[in-house]
A and B are shown apart, each in its own frame.
Chain A
């Protein structure tokens, strides 16, 4: 029979893993070519981000941060994929993808300003190839196809990478983005961080498809499901996807299986309404830091001392970044008017005067 059944297709999407929960390499052949320093750097970033996440949550509770979407649990998925990028690759993040853009060059204090709803947080410095986090779920995905096509037209050997969640994979924009990138053979990588919930809605309710990765099939692009708690697997999958993309071998959809430990955002979400403690515990056993720490310790590449250094550094940096964010000038309506058009139309010219006066009081 020449026909393939759905089950056969779904069976092809096995979860790609290199490092198991015990911190053992289970897929030696797939081991990426990373130096000891690279391995240590990956761990450093994950530890750093965990501390940053904790600080962000407590700053939010003190009313000093504003909008924040916790990332603990998703460090391997977020940071492993970013680590595979070239500085000239372009990131189109969602609201939970702030660590990726900070490691791509956005100063930390600007990430805090973004949280505080200050427009300067969105003013990406020259040479940092990112756009500020998208709030509209899915909007960044079709844009990523556009960035990728642009890179290709310019003859650059770079990719566009975009992130969304398991919920985001239900948006029309998701399918359109995959399809456009495929149709143009544009160098795009689409990462879906499947943390099993879209706010309260479990991934099983998003789709009849068993995996998100298999959605690549209909678009005619590559698809892979990765253990998103395994930083080595996420890195390797992204690195391969990147290679294919720049060699015009097609875009890739990467589904990372992960979990967010915290609430959806800090704006009143209560995960106990929709998740069980057993489920939380089960996922915490898969923790990306724990297993990678075990692995590095077994290779004598990590120690408590080293970890403490990273923790101290993170705390210090965060303190400095908050201080810098505090120093940002009070945001004015006139700043916003200024940024509406290249040349202000008459209505806004008048309003500019009106608000200048209002704000001078």
Chain B
């Protein structure tokens, strides 16, 4: 097995699918010669040619519409939106069009499109680069939304996403791109979409999270262990649809839960998770399910990021609050 960063795992997944399926096309701003601003598509144009891997003019709505058109011609587009804060430019193509294609054509057409895009705080970008906008996407029926937290998951999930016959939003947390390496098989494998992963087992409290917050939660769990609290950490991996079974099984065991997200508190994934727990496991609960989130402001100017973003201490504090309820 190889040691790979998340960015390498992502490139690897695209390379494998470009090889496997001649209908896979990769395009976006700067993805060709430049290999993407994060080098996610490094070397792919060289290896597969400009027919398969190409730059687009600078227009996200165009990229979205182009993807739908190519899908209608039987291709399997894997467009990149350079930063997910630019998704507003392509919202109609995503939510208004591709998410509804199968539905409005009565199943005649479908959109096997995987939109890849970096997002996530902690890297001090200018405005509208780092925002956690998965909640917006998750609210749109017809889309699947994936946020991997490890290189292994990223590769397996991206391959699954590209093979999926419905539109998938694949969000890559910038902070995780190069922050650590993981054992990643060089051959192809898939990770099931819609399946959470228990990243750490524990009996006292369940921490449900995704993205970079998985690592903050694992760190919190380690610290809590020193205080004799055994936290179970569930990585949703797919935030739409949510793997309710894994969550409920864990909550039934621990009787306590917190949900952690980097996004703001209002609406969002964490609120959905809390609602699912209330719907399905209320009688197992020993305490209310609390959330750790960012505050309800626009994503902060970079000089305030450090305080704004939730960290492992916030998670510990909330976990203890639930434990001591």
A333 and B307 contact, CB distance less than 8 A: yes
B61 and A172 contact, CB distance less than 8 A: yes
Query: In whole angstroms, what is the CA distance A224 to B57 when docked?
Result: 22
Other A-B contacts than A117-B124, A117-B304, 6 sampled, CB-CB below 8 A, are A135-B127, A136-B128, A170-B57, A199-B34, A348-B296, A351-B296
Please report the total number of B residues contacting A with Cβ < 8 Å. Answer: 37
Q: Mark A345-356, 1 if CB is under 8 A from B, else 0.
A: 001100100110
Q: Which of B35, B88, B298 contacts A340 (CB 8 A)?
A: B298
Query: In whole angstroms, what is the CA distance A170 to B266 when docked?
Result: 34
In the complex, B148 has a CB within 8 A of chain A: no
Q: Chain A residues near B296 (CB, 8 Å)?
A: 340, 347-348, 351
Query: In whole angstroms, what is the CA distance A66 to B34 when docked?
Result: 23
A347 and B265 contact, CB distance less than 8 A: yes
Q: Chain B residues near A170 (CB, 8 Å)?
A: 57-59, 62
Query: In whole angstroms, what is the CA distance A268 to B178 when docked?
Result: 14
Listed by A's residue number, 11 A-B pairs whose Cβ atoms lie within 8 Å are A116-B302, A136-B85, A138-B89, A172-B62, A199-B30, A200-B30, A200-B33, A201-B34, A274-B33, A337-B295, A358-B307
- Known contacts A135-B128, A137-B58; A333 and B303 CB within 8 A of each other: no
Please report the total number of A residues contacting B with Cβ < 8 Å. Answer: 44
B295 and A274 contact, CB distance less than 8 A: no
A201 and B128 contact, CB distance less than 8 A: no
In the complex, A124 has a CB within 8 A of chain B: no
- Known contacts A348-B296, A351-B296; A332 and B307 CB within 8 A of each other: yes
- Known contacts A199-B30, A336-B301; A136 and B86 CB within 8 A of each other: yes
In the complex, A168 has a CB within 8 A of chain B: yes
Query: In whole angstroms, what is the CA distance A309 to B26 when docked?
Result: 53
B124 and A331 contact, CB distance less than 8 A: no
Q: Chain B residues near A205 (CB, 8 Å)?
A: 55, 57
A333 and B57 contact, CB distance less than 8 A: no
A274 and B34 contact, CB distance less than 8 A: yes
In the complex, B152 has a CB within 8 A of chain A: no
A333 and B308 contact, CB distance less than 8 A: yes
In the complex, B126 has a CB within 8 A of chain A: yes
- In order of increasing CB-CB distance, the 5 nearest A-B pairs are A117-B302, A200-B34, A167-B58, A170-B57, A331-B303
Which chain A residue has the least Cβ–Cβ distance from B303? A331
Minimum CB–CB distance from B248 to chain A (whole Å) comes to: 28
In the complex, A206 has a CB within 8 A of chain B: yes
Q: Chain B residues near A13 (CB, 8 Å)?
A: none
- Known contacts A136-B128, A331-B303; A336 and B58 CB within 8 A of each other: no
